[in-house]
Amino acid sequence: MSNKLLLDIHAIMKQLPHRYPFLLVDRVTGFTPGVEIHGIKNFTANEAILLGHSPSSPVVPPGILLEAVTQLGAILVLERPQMEGKIAMILQIPAAHIHRLVVPGDTVRFTARVLKLRETLGELRGEAYIGNELVAEGQMRFAIAARAAILGE
């Protein structure tokens, strides 16, 4: 794996349109262009996504883990020069498994790998880990469109 593209939160915010509370990648930690990307998210007790979800025993909603994998995958797909001005959006999650709940204080390590990639469609496989324990995994299909058409920029 190449360490060519290691991004902090400021660089991630330049690549993705997401903002708090739905920017779910804190750091890109590893990268193989066009193949695989690794990143982390630190979940804290004051996350907006936790405030109304099981208030007496907060857990990260499982769909949020799959969204984080997809955001990481978007960075992987959109880093190519021909993707300038594009955005990736989830179309379908044909397979997903949650193996363990994520709670405040957990640092989750994500991996996303490209399965298929065309000009306007793609497919990813991703996993979420706490330490070496697999906590979630899934397959996501996404569309690639002009950023201006979607976000009005």
Catalytic residue set: 53
3-state secondary structure of 140: strand
| Contacts of residue 60, Cβ cutoff 8 Å, sequence gap at least 6 | 43, 47, 49, 50, 53, 101, 102, 103, 106
Q: Which CA distances in Å does 17 have to 32, 49, 80, 91, 107?
A: 22, 18, 17, 17, 23
What does the DSSP 8-state code read for residue 2?
Answer: B
